[in-house]
Structure 1
Amino acid sequence: MTTLTAESETRAPAPMRQLLIDSGYVLIGLPLALIGFILTIVIVTLGAGMAVTVIGLPIMAGGLLVARGFADLERLRLPAVLRTSYIRPAYRKGRENGGLWSRVFAPILDVQSWLDFAHALLRLPISAVSFLITVVWWAGAAAGVTYWMWDWALPSEPDNTDLPELLGLPDTSGSRIATYTVLGLFFAATLPLVVRGAALLSAGTGRALLTGMAQFQTRISTLEGQRRAAVSAEAHALRRLERDIHDGPQQRLVRLAMDLGRAQQQLETDPDAARATLGEALEHTVDTLNELRALSRGIAPPVLADRGLPSALAALAGRSTVPVELAVDRDLGRLDPAVENAAYFVVAEALANVNKHSNASEAWLTVAHVAGRLGISVLDNGAGGAHVAKGHGLAGLADRVQAAGGTLRIDSPMGGPTELRVDLPC
């Protein structure tokens, strides 16, 4: 049975490797910032000054495209420092067959293009400060630690500006070497922390201006996807409920009405036959009530609202025709009602498919609460071949999970086994 674990975070590089990455990022960043600043300012300013003429707007658009190029270069450099994935926002594009002016106005009317321009302006002073700090700390560490190697090459006459003299120490070769070595060790010990801070100072500005819009767009897209998934899941649930009512209780109620009508006709001519018909009608009534209770459990099971998810899952496992081994975290308390409903629906649908289609002899249900996520695993030793395509029992399940902000994965090769894994945010 598969054990559910939290997703691993991006592993940080070794300290020395991270120091070299941060140092390279800062040292290369200043010349890039200087070139980008000059080109962007000159072109955009020239275009703005000539905006009253026809030629000014294309020049301004060209300056914004130059700023976009330097912004794209910076986005390529950010992941190594911030330990994140590459993110690029979607830029505004000109209309198809819109002609030259449509392409000219596209960057001018695009918000992200002006954020790229703002980054080109702010990046130079920030990169200069980061560059200065990094160079000073590297020079202090290298010069101080190796001072004993080249002290002999310095003039030996006392100098009132010598550091030992300023500290009130005797101006001798030994005290000089000791003082500068201690100072170099201090710079060397704090070098990774200081350089990391200088790199994050520059990278943080880039992340805010260059990827913030992309993250906002991603969030909007995710919310729209969840909304569409919720609508689709609700429509699928209503269609399934309508189908189940039509195929089950509705047919039984029609049969019940026919039995009662026949019994009414038999009362005067054949009371014994009428009594037998009423007995059959009573059996159909009981069966109809049982089917309605089963349908209601799939909509809003009382045990879920009253006793929580573990008890509701235990009830589902107990009703399964295939033996289910249940493993639920002991400390799994009450969760958000939407999460509990989604988890219950997932397990109910998964076990229903195990019972109907898998030909399995045993199943395992595991529920774990790890790092703010609820992980669900349903594993069976059946024939496999399960997927979420239309017309199959798992259709609509992926939409329900997506609507709750989770992810679903099915591993079901032909011949089995089948494992359904769901991850829901708590």
Structure 2
Amino acid sequence: MPSVNGMTTTITPLGPGRTSRIFRQLGIDTQYVLLGLPLSIITIVLCVTGFSLGVGLMVLVIGFPVLFATIFQARGFATLERARVGPVLGIDLPHPYYKKAKPGAGFWKRTFVPLTDGQSWLDLVHGVFRLIPSTVAFAFVVAWWAGALGGLTTVLWDWSIPRGPDMHDLPELLGLGRGTTVRILFNTGLGLIFALTLFPVVRGVALLEALFARALLSGVSELRERVYEAERSRDRARAQTTAAVSAEATALRRLERDIHDGPQQRLVRLAMDLGRADLQFDNDPGAARATVAEALAQTRETLEELRALSRGIAPPILVDRGLRAALTALAARSIVPVDLELPEIDRLAENVETTVYFVVAEALTNVAKHSHASEVKVALQRSVYGMLVTVEDDGVGGASLAKGHGLTGLADRVRAAGGELTVTSPPDAGTKLVAILPIP
């Protein structure tokens, strides 16, 4: 670890793995360029000849089938080139979409449809102009390989070249001296320079030729794919927003209904009981005490209902102790025996933990109300896709995510969190609910 100006510099040598990758890539790029020139010559001859004949014979109508054959010929060469470009760029080029005639179309329809396809014409343009980058790349690759191999092996073949008295070598012309030793050292030095720059030069010209091919043969297709992915992301975001709004509205309606049907009615009765007790204190103290005792019981029941409703909003145990403790408490309150499989997991994002809790809570509620099950199994599993939540019972089945069923709101809540909910519930075969939630 040498020190330069007080700073320690670590020099990391090339490892055997990186060296082997460099040599492998050098071989790939070299064969790509060397094969590219003869393929380019064949392609340009066939494409230019076919295009010229097709255009020239259009007045005789036969030119259209000739153009059709030329287009498909260019497609074939383009498909071959996409396969060759893959190892150079380290990616698989997507196969583009080509226009096709509808099944049952006539001869002329099948002939004209490919002629209106933009990617087919781009394939033809590549076939005509690919000779330019191929020639440049071929010249550099041959020159650098010849310079490297020839220079480094000068000592092996220098003796075989005849030299007359009036023949001057390059070192002598440059004023470096005359003689076999000087000549060999000079050529070996040049060979070393070519060898040291061989990989970047070959890599550069191979990328030049490969990127030219990629731009014409898959550029439009890749642009379409990016636009499609952007539209999918936009639609997915809109769906999540819609699902979030729907889930929130459903939760608010349910909370309003539960408060109206439960605590609100009990509070009204409590007010009436206290009013009656107030009138009974003067005339019948015993009846007044009984009424107050009943009012206290109503108060306790109201508090229990409010606690139950608060668990549906933000259960304190989930906030304080995490998902594992909250689901354990949820299973303990279930009237159907619950088999829990909960791995040791770290705290997750608040929205993920809340959604997992509601999935399990709603599923257990539906099991208790509708399934007539004797046992339910709840499992959590963290994978590369996110948090997988599975709730499976042995009940009567028949559950559905269709609109109007109880699980619709739960599906909206899962979708709002960026996840997906699936339900498998054949009649008389139990219900399996699976939710997958992304983990940020």
Q: Equivalent residue for 1:149?
A: 156
Counterpart pick for 1:134 among 141, 155, 161: 141
Higher relative contact order (CA 8 A, sep 6+): 1
The structural deviation recorded for 1:82 is 0.6
Percent of matched pairs sharing the same residue:
33
| Cα shift at 1:30 | 0.7
* Residue 119 (structure 1) aligned with residue 126 (structure 2): yes
Alpha-carbon offset, residue 25 of structure 1: 0.3
Aligned to 1:349: 355
Check 1:17–1:103 CA distance in 2 against 1; reply closer, same or farther (3 A cut): same
RMSD of equivalent CA atoms: 4.4
**Structure 1 equivalent of residue 37 of structure 2:** 30
Residue in 1 that maps onto 2:21: 14
Within-5 A mapping of 1:56-95: 56-95=63-102
Do the aligned partners of residues 289 and 383 (structure 1) sit closer, same or farther apart at CA in structure 2, a change above 3 Å counting? closer
> Size of the alignment, in residue pairs?
362
Report the equivalent of 2:230.
Answer: 223
Q: Which moved more, 1:201-210 or 1:261-270?
A: 261-270
CA apart distance, 1:52: 4.6
Residue of structure 2 equivalent to 1:107: 114
* In structure 1, C-alpha distance between the alignment counterparts of 2:246 and 2:437, rounded to whole Å: 25
CA-to-aligned-CA distance 1:227-247 (integer Å, 9 cap, x gap):
443344345445544554454
* One-letter amino acid matched to 2:356: A
Please report the TM-score for the alignment, with normalisation by the length of structure 2: 0.66
Q: CA deviation at 1:152?
A: 1.4
Q: What per-residue deviation string (whole Å, max 9, x for no partner) do you get for residues 120-142 of structure 1?
A: 22211110000010011111111
Which digits, 9 at most, give the CA deviation of each residue in 1:182-240, with x for residues without a partner?
11111112111111111111011112221222222222232333344334434544554
Structure 1 pair 293/347, CA: closer, same or farther in 2 (3 Å)?
closer
8 Å CA contact 1:376–1:422 kept in 2: the answer is yes
Q: Is the 8 A contact 1:47 1:58 kept in 2?
A: yes
Q: Which residue of 1 is the match for residue 55 of structure 2? A: 48
Q: For residues 4-403 of structure 1, what are the structure 2 equivalents within 5 Å? A: 14-256=21-263, 258-259=265-266, 273=291, 280=298, 284=302, 291=309, 295=313, 317=323, 320-322=326-328, 327=346, 344-353=350-359, 378=387, 395=411
Q: TM-score w.r.t. structure 1 length?
A: 0.68
Summarize the Cα distance change of 1:313–1:211 in structure 2 as closer, same or farther, 3 Å threshold. Answer: farther
Q: Which has the larger radius of gyration?
A: 2
2:58 and 2:64 in contact (8 A); partners too: yes
Q: Shift of the alpha carbon at 1:177? A: 1.2
- Name the amino acid aligned to 1:89: P
Contact conserved, 2:114 with 2:120, CA < 8 A, in 1?
yes
Structure 1 residues 156-165 or 259-268, which shifts more? 259-268
Contact 2:144 2:194 in 1 (8 A): yes
CA distance in 2, matches of 1:249, 1:61: 69
Unaligned runs of 5+ in 1: 1-10, 299-311, 330-342, 367-374, 409-417
The offset of 1:75, in angstroms, is 0.6
